[in-house]
Amino acid sequence: MDKFKTIKYEVRNGIAILTLNRPEALNALNNDFFQDMEVLLSDIRNDKEVRILIITGKGKAFVAGADISEMVGMDKSMAEKFSRRGQAVFLRLEKLDIPVIAAVNGYALGGGCELAMACDIRIASSKAKFGQPEVSLGLIPGFAGTQRLPRLIGIGNALNLLLTADQISADEAFRIGLVQKLTEPEQLMDEVYKLAEKIISKGPRAVSVIKSVSHIGLRLDFANATKLESREFGLLFGNEGTEGMKAFLEKRKPEW
Ligand code: CAA
């Protein structure tokens, strides 16, 4: 029996790929998905072989949002719990000590845009579409979209999307900084692999610390954030950083 109901997961040469695998429902996020993610995120944390995670969707969507057919039967307290569960899973993703890349192959709407935003870097196919359509349903985002979107693209751009429910093209998402790179659809996974390989060739501890200091720092004041940076900078000496510097001076490849 498959371990997961809603996702496929494989690891090759340190690169893990999580594929949302409910194309018939455009990979809409339901409680089964969060259950799968809770298990998978614990597995990944304990698997020292995995150096980077890529998330993508099967079919024409990355994710078309939270599962409306599941949400429609919820009462106030079930809905609040569902929102807290989704937020917690996305926060665990953000806190993984390996980088996470969203390979956005198609629709990234509502909870799908929120999932992409919980990843560290977003690469999109020119076919991708982004948006927060919740307001058209009389809802608001429930997986931290009201918080991550303004932090990523500024409050004006964020409210423009959140209040209108507009779907924007990959080009527009790139222009406003929601997406870091655009590719032709057939090149998406090659480009994402290339990026993943580049990142995992760097100092592994530095990669992990850059991710955590950047995310944590956004929630601290500048003085405390820079103090944290200095502490982590220091910890790389007599360690991976010293090896990297020596390798540079000795004109050889570092041995991490
Ligand atoms: N939840 C449940 N089912 C969904 C879904 C969703 N979010 N999005 C699509 N589906 C289902 C459709 O109901 C349809 O199922 P059936 O074949 O059984 O009818 C199937 O996926 C295919 O979808 P469409 O036929 O609608 O495909 P399309 O190409 O015509 O349209 C689309 C694509 C524009 C993305 C359209 O499906 C759509 O608008 N989906 C809903 C988008 C949305 O509103 N997302 C926000 C959800 S709320 C949320 O995410 C809240 C939160 O933050 C917690």
Whether residue 141 contacts residue 162, with contact meaning beta carbons closer than 8 Å, is answered with yes
Residues 115 and 31 occupy one common structural domain = yes
CATH number at residue 213: 1.10.12
Domain shared by 188 and 112, yes or no? yes
pLDDT value at position 173?
98
Question: Which of 38, 94, 134, 229 is the catalytic position?
Answer: 134
**DSSP secondary structure string, 82-110?**
HHHHHHHHHHHHHH-SS-EEEEE-SEEET
11-12-18 Cα angle (round to 5):
35
Asked whether residue 193 carries a pLDDT value surpassing 80, the answer given is yes
**Is 134 among the residues known to form the active site?**
yes
For residues 83 and 96, state if they share a domain.
Answer: yes
Residue 231 shares a structural domain with residue 186: no
In this structure, the answer to whether residues 159 and 171 fall within a common structural domain is yes
Query: Does the beta carbon of 106 lie inside 6 Å of ligand 1?
Result: no
- Phi/psi for 250 (5° steps) reads -90, 5
Distance CA 179, CA 152 (A): 10
* Secondary structure letter of residue 29 according to DSSP: B
Residue 213 belongs to a domain: yes
> In angstroms, how far is CA 10 from the centroid of its own chain?
17
Residue 14 to residue 82: CA distance in whole angstroms: 32
Q: Is residue 255 part of a domain?
A: no
Q: Given a cut of 80, is residue 1 above it in pLDDT?
A: no
pLDDT tens for 149-171 read 999 999 999 999 999 999 999 99
- Are 43 and 84 found together in one domain? yes
Left (φ > 0), alpha (ψ -120 to 50) or beta: where does 130 sit?
Answer: beta
Share of the chain above pLDDT 70, in %: 100
Residues 190 and 219 occupy one common structural domain: no
Evaluate whether residue 189 is within a structural domain: yes
**Quick one: pLDDT at residue 122?**
98
Specify if 2 maps to a domain.
no
Range of the domain at 243: 204-249
Q: Whose CA is nearest to atom 27 of ligand 1?
A: 26
Rounded to whole angstroms, how far apart are CA atoms 132 and 114? 8
The mean per-residue pLDDT over the stretch 217-233 comes to: 97
Q: Which ligand 1 atom is the nearest neighbour of the CA of 141?
A: 53
- Report the alpha-carbon distance of residue 232 to residue 68 in Å, rounded: 43
Domain match, 112 and 21 both? yes
**256 found inside a domain:** no
Q: pTM for this one?
A: 0.98
For residues 190 and 229, membership in a common domain is answered with no
Residue 58 lies in a domain: yes
Are 213 and 187 within one domain? no
Q: What is the total count of domains within the chain? A: 2
Residue 200 confidence (pLDDT) above 90: yes
Per-residue pLDDT at 2: 86
Cβ of 62 less than 6 Å from ligand 1: no
Q: Is the CB of 143 under 6 A from ligand 1?
A: yes
Q: Which atom of ligand 1 is nearest to the CA of 60?
A: 29
In a domain, 67, yes or no: yes
18 lines ligand 1 (CB under 6 A): no
Residue 16 pairs in a beta bridge with 11, 53
How do residues 50-83 score in pLDDT, each as one tens digit?
999 999 999 999 999 999 999 999 999 999 999 9
Give the strand order in the sheet containing 107-109: 61-63, 107-109, 129-131, 168-169
First to last CA, the chain: 38
Q: Hey, what are 121's tokens?
A: 């870097």
Contact 41, 85 (CB under 8 A): no
Assign residue 170 the CATH number of its domain.
Answer: 3.90.226.10
Select from 22, 60, 68, 83 the residue to mutate for testing ligand 1; criterion: most ligand atoms less than 8 Å from CB. 68
Residues 231 and 160 in one domain: no
The answer to the question of residue 254 being in a domain is: no
> What CA–CA distances, in Å, run from 11 to 76, 115, 139, 198?
39, 20, 37, 17
Tell me: do 110 and 226 sit in the same domain: no
pLDDT in tens, 90-141: 999 999 999 999 999 999 999 999 999 999 999 999 999 999 999 999 999 9
Which tens digits make up the pLDDT trace of 15-37? 999 999 999 999 999 999 999 99
> Ligand 1 pocket: which of 26, 109, 127 to mutate (most atoms <8 Å of CB)?
26
Confidence band, pLDDT 50/70/90 cuts, at residue 181: very high
